Structure 1
Amino acid sequence: MRRLSLLTMKKSAPTNSSGGPPAKKNHWSGGLLASMQDPELKVLEDDDVIVIKDKYPKAKFHYLVMPKKDIPALKHVTKENIDLLEHMEKVGENLTKEHKDHDFIVGYHAVPSMQRLHLHVISTDFNSPCLKTKQHWNSFTTPFFIPSRNVRIQLEKDGRIKLNTEANNKYLLENLKCHKCSKLPKNMPELKRHLLEHLPSEEK
């Protein structure tokens, strides 16, 4: 039985069971492993997952749900991991309930920049100074972002996650478009000014 708690639980080191290539020592792409043990970032922990605040959040609320089992990325997920992915999704959905005044999306990047499977739980205000580039924006507002439920359905149907890296990377180059209206900003500063119009007055 899984038990989820705050940070009163003893720290458990992630296991190494995937056989996937580890990130080079001190390489930025492997930074999530260190973040999983950072008490300043860690939010929740249970027998199977650790939840942290994204170190460079792209919205007011931005969490990462990561398995303790060493799974480098979606392409390494198998049918054996269906229960784990379902649990990760439930943990993510429970996090959103703590912020009932905000809308959230819960899912994975098709081509993640960081090693270690991680589920994004992010509020759709996208109000953060760390949201700086077109790639940042499009990684959450185009099909580059795959809803968690869609991942589980494909895994149950095909036994693996089919990803086309070249096609998915093209989404990052698409023109900017507001996710809540038809506005087509010319650049990121214009987009970020526009996004403020969608915020409640008390958050502007």
Structure 2
Amino acid sequence: MWKRKVESTTSKPTKKCHWSTGLLKSMEDPECKIKEDDKIIVINDKYPKAQFHYLVLPKEDILSIWHVQGKHHDLLIHMHNVARTLVEKQSNHEFIMGYHAMPSMQRLHLHVISTDFNSPCLKTKYHWNSFTTPFLLHSSDVCRQLRETGEVKKIPTETWKDYLNTNLKCHKCSTQPKNMPDLKRHLLTHIDSKQQ
């Protein structure tokens, strides 16, 4: 005869968090943090899509770039300036800084990513296109738009989906690889030629 397992009434059930809230947990993790001030926290991306991939997050609870208002202009300028100091420390690498048109993670975050895109975490066409097409809203453009209009103009769903579905194309030359393994092999030629 099977006995039913009696659950203890003293243990509290563990609350499961949705994966999209992972950045909030990383912001609290001292091992993830690389910089912090009274307005922002900088963390290493847990799944970097390049050799260097940082995220600059505000301490203020702003869900995404589409929840930014005119009053956040100074904060976004500060995030941009913090990102630039990170880039200056790696002067032998090129970087891009921007926000995804449709962020998958909760909490506004600015991507600061080196353009080598040399990472085992870069696996899909969507990963690639999210950084190499207008799906990435460049930080300086976002700051300018917010200053001039008091808002960031939302990209229509069909438009950002088209960006993610764009055919693969190298961001440094006209090569159009047929798949991700081909693209990743091709990217190494740009890294090798830079090191010679």
TM-score (norm 1): 0.85
Report what 1:169 is aligned to: 161
CA–CA distance in 2 between the matches of 1:120 and 1:169?
A: 19
- More helix by percentage: 2
1:199 alignment counterpart: 191
1:180 counterpart = 2:175:
no
Supply the distance in 2 between the matched residues of 1:171 and 1:202 (Cα, whole angstroms). 28
| Greater Rg over alpha carbons, structure | 2
Q: Deviations over 1:5-52 (max 9, x none)?
A: xxxxxxxxxxxxxxxxxxx95100111000111122110000000000
The answer on whether the counterparts of 1:134 and 1:176 sit within 8 Å (CA) in structure 2 is: yes
How many Å separate the matches in 2 of 1:174 and 1:54? 24
> Residue 77 of structure 2 is aligned with which of 63, 86, 99?
86
- Structure 1 residue 160 and structure 2 residue 128: aligned? no
Which runs of at least 4 in structure 1 moved beyond 3 Å after TM superposition? 200-204
How far apart, in 2, do the equivalents of 1:71 and 1:27 lie?
17
Report the more deviating stretch, 64-73 or 165-174: 165-174
Identity of aligned residues (%): 63
TM-score when scaled to structure 2?
0.89
Q: Deviations over 1:121-174 (max 9, x none)?
A: 000000000000000000000000011010011111221111123211210000
Say how many residue pairs are matched: 181
* Distance of 1:119 and 1:189 partners within structure 2: 27
Matches within 5 A, 1:48-197: 48-163=39-154, 164-197=156-189
Aligned to 1:60, the other structure's residue is in SS state coil
Deviates more, 1:157-166 or 1:182-191: 157-166
